[in-house]
Structure 1
């Protein structure tokens, strides 16, 4: 049987509790059964990710692939649906799926990601271009971002009251207006849902492909925030944070072929929501400050 990395097992049990412990214990047998069923041979040791394990394999026809088995969590349900919808368009290909066990056989890509590119502007442009390519017509079975808007509005208002209004009325009003104007009526197109530099990998079939989608349906401008925050270190060092934010938003907007104001409004709303959440859970002060600054700047 295969060996599960100790650090991965410890981390997911600490985060998810006793159910994760039982899942980790079942993984070796499950992976062995999957390898036999899909006629694959491991070629490297298992790598532990944020939500599951990745195992590089050789398929029965000799082609390379990876087996991914994720922890059974609601956030991981729609990943194979997204891959199946895209059919390799801007994303790794899905060869086999076992939804009951949260397992997939996927196209093998490189371990290098946009984080390794060393050029934030180019990385943002690549992510924006992919966001546009991924915005295909979605099937009716996938979760709509528009269905979450009412909850986001309610949470924004409650947090503003309970946290002592850490954001200005202008920033709070701008976020609520965006959710009202843009959130409730969104297009039926695929959205990655977690499009950051670490989820865009080098590949041979195409220069860059996405991995780890959430499989949402809605406005592609929604993904602009997670693209921006991955370059957070250089963002924090900017002499003029507002100017740098707007410059990067312009790069994403142009690459994704979407209206800049629409992108700006979504990022402002999401950072307002994120700032409240970060205060609630006790995130580092610098992270809260950056989110609040962004929400304030982009509300102007």
Structure 2
């Protein structure tokens, strides 16, 4: 029986309560069941992410893979769908899936991510090129970002009012305008939905592949702020934060072959939403303040 990492178990139970406790208790049995069902043998210890565990395994044909089992979280509902649509195009391959129990057998990659590259500009080019490769036609059964326009606009206005308008009228107005202008009509293409440096891993089949997609259909520029999160320390230490933000957004937009203004507007809107939701959710002050700065500067 595998051992579930203690910190992961503690965090899951703290976040999910009794359902999380029951799921954590079931994990060793689930792992054994999927190892048998998919004819795999463990080759290393269990590691974990935010909502799931990962176990390196060897498949029946001797090839390496990873078994991933996630808590039944809405954010993971379409992960396997995205991998299936891409079929290894810029993303790790999907070998097996059990959607009801949020389990997948995936291509094994390396532990190095774009965070480890040590060159923010080069990493931003890589992630932009991957975003473009991922932007293929999306099937009709995936959620559309455009369907969230009304919800996002309402949440922005309500959160700003509830929090005493921490953002300027200009920053809030720019975010609302972007939702009205860009969100309701979007391309029916695949978008990762959480494309940051930590979700791009070294691989053998290709130099870099993405993991942990949300499985969405919409504008690939939607991920612009998440791309900026790579190299956040050097970004926030820049002498001119606004100029550096725009410079990195331009690198991403050019590599992804998207309009720079579109990437800038999405980054500003996402920063505004993150700043307000972060204040409500008690996120660290530095993160909230950074999002507020970006939202104001890009407005």
> Residue 93 of structure 1 aligns with which residue?
93
Residue aligned with 1:57, SS:
strand
> Residue 55 of structure 2 aligns with which residue?
55
* Whole-angstrom CA distance in 2 between matches of 1:181 and 1:171: 15
* Whole-angstrom CA distance in 2 between matches of 1:26 and 1:294: 42
How far did residue 285 of structure 1 move? 2.2
How far did residue 154 of structure 1 move? 0.4
Segments of 5+ residues of structure 2 without an aligned counterpart are none
Residue-by-residue CA offset, 1:177-211 (whole Å, 9 max, x unaligned)? 10001000000001101001110000011000000
Structure 2 counterparts to residues 14-25 of structure 1, below 5 A = 14-25=14-25
Segments of 5+ residues of structure 1 without an aligned counterpart are none
Residue aligned with 1:95, SS:
strand
* Whole-angstrom CA distance in 2 between matches of 1:164 and 1:7: 36
* Whole-angstrom CA distance in 2 between matches of 1:159 and 1:28: 41
* Whole-angstrom CA distance in 1 between matches of 2:193 and 2:5: 27
How far did residue 144 of structure 1 move? 0.6
Residue aligned with 1:67, SS:
strand
Number of residue pairs the alignment of both structures matches: 299
How far did residue 284 of structure 1 move? 2.2
Structure 2 counterparts to residues 21-170 of structure 1, below 5 A = 21-170=21-170
Residue-by-residue CA offset, 1:237-274 (whole Å, 9 max, x unaligned)? 00000000000000000110000000000001111111
* Whole-angstrom CA distance in 1 between matches of 2:11 and 2:175: 35
> Residue 192 of structure 2 aligns with which residue?
192
Residue-by-residue CA offset, 1:115-142 (whole Å, 9 max, x unaligned)? 1111111111111111100001000001
> Residue 218 of structure 1 aligns with which residue?
218
How far did residue 229 of structure 1 move? 1.4
How far did residue 282 of structure 1 move? 2.1
* Whole-angstrom CA distance in 1 between matches of 2:3 and 2:155: 42
* Whole-angstrom CA distance in 1 between matches of 2:284 and 2:11: 20
How far did residue 230 of structure 1 move? 2.6
* Whole-angstrom CA distance in 2 between matches of 1:267 and 1:222: 7
Residue aligned with 2:68, SS:
strand
How far did residue 298 of structure 1 move? 0.8
Q: TM-score, normalised by structure 1?
A: 0.98
Output the aligned Cα RMSD.
Answer: 0.8
* Whole-angstrom CA distance in 2 between matches of 1:290 and 1:9: 30
Q: TM-score, normalised by structure 2?
A: 0.98
